[in-house]
Chain A
Amino acid sequence: MKNYALALLVAAVYVAHQDFWNWNDRGLVLGVLPVGLAYHAFYACLAAVMMFILVKFAWPTRLEAEIEALGDAAIQVEGH
């Protein structure tokens, strides 16, 4: 359930990138920042929040623990 919710979050953020409603808007936010630029600046912050949530709830903890447990023995001979 958690994974589905996270996948949905990622999909929603991806879709939010396609802001067709701002396409032809030449307006300025606060008289200085074009709307299309302001929206995507906000979008970059949204992407950072999404990544924070993924790190918090979808971090590969088990994999990390496995590697930590291997310690110095981790790096084996290169497997070619």
Chain B
Amino acid sequence: MGPLIVILIYLAVVTYIGSVAVRRGKNNTEDFFLAGRSIGPMVFFLSLFATNMTAFAILGSSGAAYKQGVGIFGMMASSSGFMIPLTIFLIGTRLWALGKRFGHMTQVAFFRDRWECSGIGTFIFALSAAMIVPYMIISIIGGGTVLEEMSKGLVPYWLGCLLVTLVVTLTVFLGGMRGTVWVNVFQTILFMLFGTLALLVISSNLPDGGFGAVLSKLGASPKGFLLSREKMPAEVFWSYSLIPLSSIMFPHMSIMCLSAKKMSAFKNTVVAYPLAIMAVWLPSVFLGIIGAGVFPTLKGTETDGVLLKLLTEYAPVWVSGILGAGIISVVMGSDAHQVLALSTMFTKDIFDYYGGRQKFGEKSSILFARGFIVVLTVVAYLIALAKPQSIFELAVRFAFTGFAALAPVMVAALFWKRSTKWGALAATLWVTFWLFLTGYLTTISEPIGQELAKAQAAAQGGKKPGGKPGAGPVEGGKPAGAPEVQASPAAPASPGVEPTPAAAPASPSIEPTPPAPTEKPAGAPEAGKPGPGGKPGGKKPVTAKPIFPELGGLFMRSAAQVTVYGYLPVVPMVVGSALLMILFSLATKPPSKETIEKYFPGKAEK
């Protein structure tokens, strides 16, 4: 009851902050969608970070670490710490400058203008919207399950989802971008302190020698592999480093970049970003490992609740409440931006672009946006009630990969004057094709995945998992995201987890993560000798099988996912997308001199 009261107070405070923002707003789309491009450096950093982080960063990462060990941090968090600020620095700043100069409010508006295209822009819009909608729904599912878990069932799942949906809707509906970023400041401070606070509280209450003793004992147990990466395929670890390219391509991230008042707001943001990611992820991953030592028998989705279990066991009630609010804040921070981004895209890229604003006026655009927000969140809530978790987790996992593979399109648009709309179309079609192919391969290889999962469970003395197709970590990530996002470059971002049984009633469901790391495919190179404390491996169990034996190792299936020669599908997708962008651009007519002069002043050929 105590934690619930703290969380409800938190939700009330958030709603109040969001509603205050409405008084500061002006009645135009520039203000509603981008806060009049007036966000200062500190708020910009806190808000951009909140946009990027999902509950996966806290719950999913600890659950993934529980199952796969410390490698999760290197694979997902530190790779994001490298890639996300780098893409914000290279792409975000340029997007901001062009947005400020030409008034773009979305990526699609930029693409349409940059390549003098209409239909191709609409196609990119459709693909982006299709990839972000599941992400938004998963956030609501995550919020509902976390509230149910934290309140020990006092707040049923449907009511938890409703509370999260209501708060997010009110914040975005009333305050638009301004309301959302004001709330983010409060939320981000809360969830950035979460890890440190959880670490301190749990550390002071752990019996018998604290963390060191737990880890020493774990190292000597059959689960000792969790202290290293010996069960993580090197190919997956490397391929995951491409997933964080998705971060800047997520519409809610790129739109957030457009809201800064000055370009200098990006400076401290990109420097602090890797440290902020570390502040959130490191304690969560570490506590996931500690959880494996303290509660060694968790199965399936229970593992995503390991952090909540540690808090319940080793933290005072009021602290649990504050930490629960921290978890909810990370869920809602990204969800609000996803709702706002979808509203911005539909209003600017569809309603306004196809004549709505011209016909009905500027105020009608805001009316449309607000109406859209209500309809979108109601529909998302109704879908969330059905808890179609495995489908959406899979969709989000693919979204991180898909957005990462669209990054070459953005790079070409910004830095290569010779790039053309046909190159962009070819790259986008390639990404779409691979998303369908990966979905198809995942579906048809499900029996192999189930069989491998069963074998692994048996090898670990566990029960038969009831993994659903592609079920990833459940939040209570993204991606990620992974990134797990997502994975994500903070993906992204959603990753690395073996399929989990369908969400147990009381297990926190986390947003799916970007692609899950698989076990080493048969025939993949070994990653080195057993480390200190490592037991001689003996005969390694088969952890991946070819989907089409006649194609050899081209398409492999592990318990969790499909790989291509052992690598995540993001590798051929990004490489192919870049190559097609180049080849089709060179083979087709460049944009007009006027357009090139507009975007590359002084560089148009005479």
Contact = CB atoms under 8 A, between A and B. Distances in A.
Interface of A: 10, 13-14, 17-28, 31-37, 39-41, 43-45, 47-48, 50-52, 54-55, 59-60, 63-64, 66-68, 70, 74-80
Contact of A34 (B100, B228, B234, B237): B228
The interface residues of chain B, by DSSP majority, are classed as helix
A14 B238 CA distance: 10
Nearest to B530: A24
Contacts of B270: 51, 54-55
B466 interface: no
B273 interface: yes
B113 A79 contact: yes
Contacts of A18: 234, 237-238
B112 A40 contact: no
A68 to B, nearest CB: 8
28 contacts: A17-B78, A20-B527, A21-B528, A24-B530, A26-B228, A27-B532, A34-B215, A36-B73, A37-B70, A41-B278, A45-B274, A47-B78, A47-B82, A48-B271, A54-B89, A59-B267, A63-B93, A63-B263, A70-B100, A74-B100, A75-B30, A76-B103, A78-B105, A78-B109, A79-B102, A79-B103, A79-B104, A79-B113
Contacts of B109: 78-80
Given A32-B211, A80-B113, A43 B78 contact: yes
Given A26-B227, A44-B78, A54-B86, 14 more contacts: A18-B234, A18-B237, A20-B527, A24-B229, A24-B230, A24-B527, A34-B215, A36-B227, A44-B274, A44-B278, A51-B274, A64-B263, A76-B103, A78-B109
Contacts of B175: none
Nearest to A39: B74
Nearest to A10: B86
Interface string B229-266: 11000100110010000000000000000000011100
Contacts of B285: 37
Given A26-B227, A79-B113, A51 B528 contact: no
Interface residues of B, number: 70
A45 B82 CA distance: 10
B324 interface: no
A52 B86 CA distance: 11
Given A51-B85, A63-B97, A45 B275 contact: yes
Contacts of B238: 18
User: Which 5 A-B residue pairs are closest in the complex by CB-CB distance?
Assistant: A24-B531, A47-B274, A79-B113, A44-B278, A40-B78
A45 B272 CA distance: 9
Interface string B326-369: 00000000000000000000001000110000000000000000
A31 B100 CA distance: 51
A33 B275 CA distance: 18
B540 interface: no
Contact of A63 (B69, B82, B94): B94
B421 to A, nearest CB: 14
A35 B272 CA distance: 24
A76 B211 CA distance: 58
Contact of B74 (A32, A40, A52, A76): A40
A75 B74 contact: no
A34 B74 contact: no
Contact of B82 (A14, A32, A36): A14
